[in-house]
Structure 1
Amino acid sequence: MRITHRLAAATAATAALVAAGTGSAMADTASPGIIGGSSGSSPYIVQLVFGQSGGTYGCTGEAISSQWVLTAKHCIDGTNWMDVYYSNSVTNPGTPVAADRVVGSPSGDVALVHLSTAKSVSSYAPLASSYTARAGDTGTIWGYGLTAGGAQPTHLNKATVNVVGSSRDAYGGTAVHVKGQDGASNHGDSGGPLFVNGVIVGVCSTGDVADPGSDIHAGSNYANLTASRSWIRSTAGV
């Protein structure tokens, strides 16, 4: 049986975001980062900073419309405020948009964040209609989490992963089990996307080990969006 852990952590990068001006009212948990991989840019992969259990945490999310962001459910459970940053820079995140509502899917570690003010971007996250995990598939993961050895990220990162098969997420829902090819998820990447064939099939939920260190081949489990897809449509209209 694999040992799994939620990819969540309070980081110095999160503290820097708070100092830069977080503090609205809403939301929950944390996020993992990318070990290895490379820097990337996206108009819709966002940084989430929120208050939960007496601390401040960070996760990754995907803007699916001008008012809704997709992330992991453990990033919204027990959260009392959340801010959303659209800059791909962690050190210069820009001005946040406050969340005013968060809702969790009835199926697994999937959630939606509603913005208090609409934020338009050049394109929005493309979601798969369904996906069945197939060993041998190749995917791409993105996130704002810790890098190798627990170092703080400065920018959005991405890595190539190999699909191993199906597994379970932090809430017992169906997940896609992946192993890093040139990089792996780490604390701070929770809620970040897994792309297969150009569309998002899952969001980062747990890691196979508590501390992946600098292992670019570490395994993780991405909550499969399939069971939540109709719920996302009915809630966010996407």
Structure 2
Amino acid sequence: MKKRELGHKLGLAVCAGAALGLSTGCSIEGASDEPLEAFESHSSAIIGGQVAEASPWAVQVFDVRGSTGDFYQCTGTLVAARWVLTAQHCIADEGETSAVRVGSNTYREGRRIAVDAVEVHSADADIALLHLTENADGPFVQLAQATSVATGRDATAYGWGSEGTPLVMAPSLKKATIHIDGWYSAEELIATGVTGAGWSGDSGGPWFVDGRQVAVFTASNGQDGTNLHARQLGVDVARHRAWIDATIAGGPTVHPSGQVVLHDLSNFSGVSQGFGIGRYDLPNMTIIGDNRVSAIRVPAGLRVTAFMHGDFGGEARVFTSDTNLVAAGFDNTISSIVVAHASDPQPDVVTFYENANFSGASVVYGVGSSLFYSTPWDQRASSVRVPSGFRLTLYNGLWRYSAEWRVLTADANLAPQNFDNQTRSFLIERL
């Protein structure tokens, strides 16, 4: 999930746990991203604690930002030769890719390996697997069994950091003892620092109990760079063990050739999800999630109608070929889609045309109320197509405050309705 977007879903800012005002666990060294609301932008890690023993399974996760190079982002763990476990908010954003360094406790040292695929369990779960372009040498961490319970136990947390000094990373991996108090949510554990506590830059790092990784650190609360006893959130590994094992065994996702594929990065990479013929809302439990799509692949012969709102409402776009949505001006806005054969009738949208007889430029909308005010379509529509089962009400002002309106349930030229080039707002309803 994109770093900002995960927090937006939770109501505040960049990382999981925001609903309790938790400080972000992610680190953006030298980043231009401004702080969001109450969250910290400091690039720090374990506060207190001590220097860790040699940990060749520990992974440094970097954003790769074009010509500006690698920016340290998060901690992770090597769980197989080509797989790194980390937090979902640590994955690359638009215009970035990811890379890791493995095999060294020293900051910015170790073997650098590029990431070529990202797998997530769901849009909301702050856990991810990064697939590497080359095999990394072990050892690999041992993961908690699916039946294990870590609550009530002391754990050891690991991460890179600067002990509270903003934007300056510590030279070596650190560790601290924390106590896992219980559950924060159905899949997140909540803990309290004992000898130290995590902060930005520790996100994605492991919590170990009895030598097995039981959680992926995602956020902290009450951390100001000095608090050894801050509250911590970690995604429970046991509850995701089946997904982790299946992903490692199956490899990066390969979508069937006949599916439409939505991607969260405009270069047709990153998190993706495939869809066959059908109608789909994009709620949080889906892989791609709501308002996350930046590119769309459309096989020949198919048509995708994409809506800004859930339940097939709001402004829509129709795609019949692969499209970079950033370039198309429809980035991170899709909340529902209809996949159909390109030759099928279009029953899901009202189409507005600039000229009579359904010609010239056009724009499409699904159910709901919308405005043409301050858009290129203000007082521009001259004809409309209204599918069977829909009712369109056109207004020459702001909805019910308008001086005039027209109600249509079929295709129409607007000049005979004495409403040519007058529409400024409208309401689309299903009958």
| Category of TM-score, reference length = shorter chain | 0.7 to 0.9
Once residues 28 and 93 of structure 2 are traced to their aligned partners in structure 1, the CA distance between those partners, rounded to angstroms, is 15
Quote how far apart the aligned CAs of 1:133 are.
4.3
Distance in 2 (alpha carbons) for counterparts of 1:234 and 1:94: 28
Q: Please, which runs of 5 or more residues in structure 1 have no aligned partner? A: 15-29
Match of 2:21 in 1: 3
Asked whether 1:163 is paired with 2:167, we answer no
The Cα RMSD (Å) is 2.5
Deviation, 1:134, is: 2.2
- Give 2:90's aligned residue: 75
Tell me the amino acid that sits aligned with residue 138 of structure 1: D
The structural deviation recorded for 1:118 is: 0.8
Whether 2:101 is the aligned partner of 1:88: answer no
Which residue of 1 is the match for residue 113 of structure 2?
97
Report deviation, 1:74: 0.9
- AA of the residue aligned to 1:2: L
Structure with the bigger RCO (C-alpha within 8 Å, sep 6+) is 1
Whether 2:193 is the aligned partner of 1:175: answer no
Q: Could you tell me the percent identity over the aligned residues?
A: 31
2:77 aligned residue (46, 54, 62) = 62
Q: Quick one: which of 218, 225, 229 aligns to 1:217?
A: 229
Is 1:141 the counterpart of 2:157 in the alignment? yes
Offset at residue 32 of structure 1 (A) = 5.5
1:200 aligns with: 213
Q: Alpha-carbon deviations, 1:132-172, whole Å to 9, x = none?
A: 3423x11000011331344521110000011111114xxxx
SS, match of residue 152 in structure 1 = coil
TM-score (norm. length: structure 2): 0.46
- Structure of larger gyration radius: 2
1:4-46 C-alpha deviation (Å, 9 max, x unpaired): 133112126x9xxxxxxxxxxxxxxx98511111111201011
Task: Give the TM-score normalised by the residue count of structure 1.
Answer: 0.81
Aligned residues: 213
Aligned to 2:188, the other structure's residue is in SS state strand
Q: 1:85 to 1:48 in 2, by over 3 A?
A: same
Contact 2:29 2:43 in 1 (8 A): no
Q: Secondary structure at the match of 1:231?
A: helix
- Mapped to 2, the partners of 1:163 and 1:98 lie a distance apart of 33
CA contact (8 A) 2:43 2:169 kept: no
Give the counterpart letter for 1:144 in structure 2.
Answer: W
Q: CA deviation at 1:103?
A: 1.1
Distance 1:147 1:70 in 2: 24
Distance 2:45 2:217 in 1: 10
Is residue 140 of structure 2 the alignment partner of residue 127 of structure 1? no
Deviations 1:194-217 (A, max 9, x none): 1112211110111113x4321111
Q: 1:109 aligns with which of 121, 126, 135?
A: 126
Give the letter for the 1:141 counterpart.
A
**For residues 31 and 126 of structure 1, do their structure 2 counterparts lie closer, same or farther at Cα, with a shift above 3 Å needed?**
farther
Equivalent-residue separation in structure 2 for 1:117 and 1:78 (angstroms): 22
> 2:88 and 2:232 mapped to 1: Cα distance?
16
Q: In the superposition, relative to structure 1, how do residues 72 and 60 fare at CA in structure 2: closer, same or farther (>3 Å)? A: same
Question: What CA deviation, in whole Å up to 9, does each residue of 1:59-100 have, x standing for no partner?
Answer: 10100111111011111263631111112101x513411111
CA displacement at 1:219 relative to structure 2: 1.1
Name the CA shift for 1:152/1:59 in 2 (closer, same or farther; >3 Å).
same
Confirm or deny: 8 A CA contact 1:32 1:59 kept in the other structure. no
Contact 2:44 2:169 in 1 (8 A): no
Contact 1:7/1:204, CA 8 A, preserved across alignment: yes
